Amino acid sequence: MPDSSSDSSAAAETQYRPFGSGARAFRGGAIDALGLPALVLGASYLGFGSLVRESGYSLTLGLFSTMTGWALPGQVVLIELMALGSSLFAICLAVAMTNMRLLPMAVTLTPVLRVPGRASWRYYLAAHFCAVTAWVFTMRRAPSLPPEERLPYFLGFGAMVWAASMIGTATGYLLSATVPMQVSLGLVFLNPIYFMLMFMGDLGQRSRVLSLLIGVAAGPLLFQIDADWGLMIAGLGAGTLGFYIDRWLPRKGSGKGGHG
């Protein structure tokens, strides 16, 4: 029986078509991001802009944070620790640990985007746009594109949602005086809800379902044991266990109990 991953790849090949050039791929990525992805991310950053103002910091600082850091959980940690008067070392360490989730995405995405002979600085630039939204859309569409169109598509998508985040930061900061703080800060939670809905389309893969269920069960327990490391351990452990349990369980239509 054919492997399900090959079936999904074939479906992707029939659903998407090459753009024909790098410029068109960049434009196509920007258009794909212009709808719901940019809207949700921009709305999430309304809450961040409001947080910056309520914490007593300038719009310039908020925009600079989004322009350079562009990782909402880490930016929230940054503002909160600055407001508490934490040391620079503690702030840098906390932000780095919060944003460490982006490293596996960058590691898995780079080989997909890489073209032999292309200058390496392009990939360092691309790494800045490695947000969850851009990663998910690019990993779905890239296999159907020629290698030379993949990086432009990703940059177009990433640049659009990054620009929406900048606009959201500025708008949230300026509107925070007229919108209740509870409402504007609540918009921050649009981001994780949207990410969860995006991954719902991948629940046909057993390893991801197993990882999700293990994470849901282990996350609250480990958080009670260690609030600093519990969530990270739950995520890493759930993903690892889900992967290996999936390899150990028999495949659909196979009488064998595992992989040789």
Backbone dihedral region for residue 130 (phi beyond 0: left; psi -120 to 50: alpha; all else: beta): beta
Nearest to 152 by CA among 27, 5, 238, 65: 27
Rounded distance, CA 13 to CA 88, Å? 48
- pTM, two decimals, is 0.70
- Other CB atoms closer than 10 Å to residue 209's CB: what's the count? 14
What are 48's two structure tokens?
């961040």
Asked if residue 51 lies in contact with residue 66, where contact means CB atoms within 8 angstroms, the answer is no
- pLDDT tens-digit profile, the chain (260 residues): 444 444 444 444 445 778 888 899 999 999 999 988 888 888 888 888 888 988 889 999 999 999 998 888 889 889 988 988 888 898 898 888 888 878 888 888 888 998 888 888 888 888 888 888 888 889 888 888 999 999 999 999 999 999 999 999 999 898 877 767 666 666 666 656 666 665 655 556 777 778 878 888 888 888 788 776 777 788 788 888 888 888 888 766 555 444 44
Q: Give the position of tokens 């434009």.
A: 27
Element (H, E) at 98: helix 88-98
